[in-house]
Chain A
Amino acid sequence: MPEELAVRIEDLSITYKVSLESKRTFKNALMRASLRQDAKMRTIEAVKHMTLDIPHGSVLGIVGSNGAGKSTLMRCIAGILTPTQGRVAVNGKISTLLALGVGFNPALSGRDNIILGGLASGLSKDEIENKTDEIAKFADLPDGFIDLPVRTYSSGMYGRLSFSVAVSMTPDILLLDEALSAGDAAFKEKSFERMRQLCAEARTILIVSHALATVTDLCDKAIWMHKGAMLDQGKPDKIVDEYLKFLNVGTLPSSYEDM
């Protein structure tokens, strides 16, 4: 793998089976065995034969309709899912923010959660304790909320805290899945700034977003995924235009700016 690449995806396919049963239990399995039925399964081809190189320092936007395989791709890059076929090579430390509010114990204070989150990311206890103040400052929660239990937070505050933790780990590769939808305009501006700063440090960011303005504003490259396959890649403006045309809504401002 060349040095300048952050992520290299070669002929990647991810297939998995899901059960159509309402709940998988021993009892159902026993019933099925006694009635000699097969389990009702459905095979989902989430990602099909995808090949892509992502160099260091780039910001890649991924657009596509629901069920296009965007989140599955992100999880595979993060090493959470294993490929069914093909290969993903990742060069650098990954930080993920794949769903909002992940990684917090609601009974503990924001500060405790930051420490726990840092430890999970592989930082030592000293390192994370030194960083706690910085993270808390970046999240900038009102009125000392940082020392209150996380369950008292609003969803926006929750999002701010998770984002702050994710970006403060100085990751080489940052994976964001719809992570910027929470938080007010001021915080959004702040997080954009932070992401540009990460880019300037030659770090790589992958963004999945339905807010197409984020993609055009922030990314230097975009890909369009549809039903598991990569339809096109190129300049964000071009990809977003194509995607919107495909959606048959043209370039109406209302759908263009839905943040």
Chain B
Amino acid sequence: MPLTYKVRPSLTDHLSEITNKGASAIAYLVTYFYGRSIFKRRSPRGFTAAGALVFAVLTALATFAALTPATTPSVVVGSIGATAGATAGCTAAGTTFAFFAATTFFAAAFLTGAFFVTAAFLTATFFVTAAFLTATFFAGAFLEAGAFLAVELAAAFGAAIALLDSKITGSKSAEIKATPAVLLINRELVKLLSILIFTFPNFSRHSPARIKGFFSPISGRGWQVRGICAQICSWDGRLTPMPTNQNFLSKVQVFEAHKASLPPLIPYVKEFWSRRTFAIELARFNDKAEYLGSRLGKVWLILNPLLLGIVYYIVIVIIRGGSDHNGLTRLNHLLIGLFTFYFAQSTVMAGAQSITLGGRLILNQAFPRTLLPFSCAIQAFREFLPTIPVYVLVLVVGKWIYPATQIAGVSWNFLWIPFIIVCIALTAFGLALLFATLNVYFRDTNKLLTYITRIWMYLSPILWLPSSLHGKAKLLLYINPLGPALTANSRVWIDNTGLSRNVIVGCIFWAVTSMCVGGYFFISRERDFAIRI
């Protein structure tokens, strides 16, 4: 789970965060060793069939639990359902270990004193992780639980540091509008620290063999280390203030009862186009507001990805393999994949909230509502741009250190990049429209979306290479709306080759489909928003 800093986290917030993370860490540990024992005894294939089915059911239950607001009866139903599912699933797989896992949750939850809320939260986290396990089966990897263990422990550390941090900053202001710089710095430090701690046994040649042996399942696998990175990177919460605005209409307008589901599109697009400056400036001012309170201001836009790069450098290049030029290739693949994915992710996540958060603006002004998600997309793009120089910096420094690396220099293939970015932006914007509409009708969409994007990331060729899929598994690349675009992205940036026909068609297909579906869904309902909000 990402650590989200509330406007003013209280002591109990921090404590429960620590306990949560600790508890889920224990649970993951159990899952990990349990999974390993199964892996040894049975063929992976047998486990896959039973496991995948059970996990799929559990995911549904977990979703239910995750959506549950903190009211007593629904949480109990959700939690009991999820626990029963876990027990059943694990019994089916031949052991009762997972039962321990479930009980651990509840023990920990009791300790926090916030039983119901915590229980729902933990069960949800656990089973979404289970869903991820299923996903990794298809991606051809196994046993990511170890990585999650490390991640959750790391996050527990993070929470501990955050606790200290709130002591340092004192949380004096009732309204912390921008994340204070201290918090940001600490977050980066914690990332570094926790990764070092959990990979140290491999890192140091002098650590005792016994300790090495204990940690090796965690740190010895490149996959898992990458899992850690992924999780840790996703771990930052930001507060995005949403401004609302005055608005006017012009010319003679006639409003009539509408029968057609879509308004006339040409005037709509014209109206949208004439207000584009508003969307652009809204994004700019949002950025300004976000970094207003921090002393380093917009430097964070560069600093954040740079620090991220350093973290990955340590993990992948130093810890995994010393002077390994393959490591550099992987690092670069991961970085560019993540940066691009974050662009899409923040477009979708912020866009999905833009309508419900823009409530009063929508209640009081008439304008094409698509402008609000559009502004979020622009903001995401503004944050994405500075990551490109960071990537190039990592690449150049990397090539200087490992001249043998396979990553080639600039070529004409780079002309594909604008095409790819446009495709990604359109796909993400379409999805943002879809989820923004859903969010108006079902207010828990946003919660659900957190899980969806998490799973989405693992299913995308970011932590793994597109080439690691074979046969039918390759379908995964095309079912995923961002699959073709991210494959293309990696191919151009890393392999420096042109795009295959399939990938180009895939990119265009998803951009068009997503814009059509999302756009239709949104625009045909946007005149209802004022009533629903």
**Chain A interface (Cβ < 8 Å from any Cβ of B):** 1, 16, 18, 23-27, 29-30, 75-76, 78-99, 102-108, 112-113, 115-122, 124-125, 149, 151, 162, 165-166, 169, 171
Contacts and interface: CB of A to CB of B under 8 A. Distances in A.
Contacts of A149: 177, 292
B475 to A, nearest CB: 28
Contact of A117 (B245, B253, B275, B289): B245
A122 B244 contact: no
Given A26-B67, A90-B249, A122-B275, 12 more contacts: A25-B443, A80-B366, A86-B257, A88-B256, A92-B251, A94-B366, A102-B245, A103-B364, A105-B285, A116-B282, A120-B247, A169-B246
A91 B251 CA distance: 6
Contacts of A85: 257
B310 interface: no
Contacts of B168: none
Interface of B is mostly: mixed
A83 B252 CA distance: 17
B255 to A, nearest CB: 4
Nearest to B255: A88
B69 A25 contact: yes
A95 B258 CA distance: 24
Given A26-B448, A96-B365, A121-B247, A105 B289 contact: yes
B177 A78 contact: no
B249 A78 contact: yes
Interface of B: 64, 67-69, 74, 175, 177-178, 241-258, 274-275, 277-278, 281-282, 285-286, 288-290, 292-293, 360-367, 441-445, 448, 527, 530-531
Contacts of A151: 175, 177
Shortest 5 CB-CB contacts between residues of A and residues of B: A105-B243, A79-B366, A120-B245, A107-B289, A117-B246
A122 B252 contact: no
Nearest to B278: A119
A188 B465 CA distance: 66
Nearest to B438: A26
Given A112-B288, A166-B246, A169-B248, A80 B281 contact: no
B69 A107 contact: no
10 contacts: A27-B64, A30-B64, A80-B366, A86-B256, A92-B251, A96-B365, A98-B364, A119-B277, A120-B275, A120-B365
Nearest to A19: B532
Contacts of A88: 254-256
Nearest to B65: A27
Given A87-B254, A87-B256, A108-B285, A82 B527 contact: yes
Contact of B444 (A18, A27, A125): A27
Given A81-B531, A98-B364, A89 B254 contact: yes
A99 B364 contact: yes
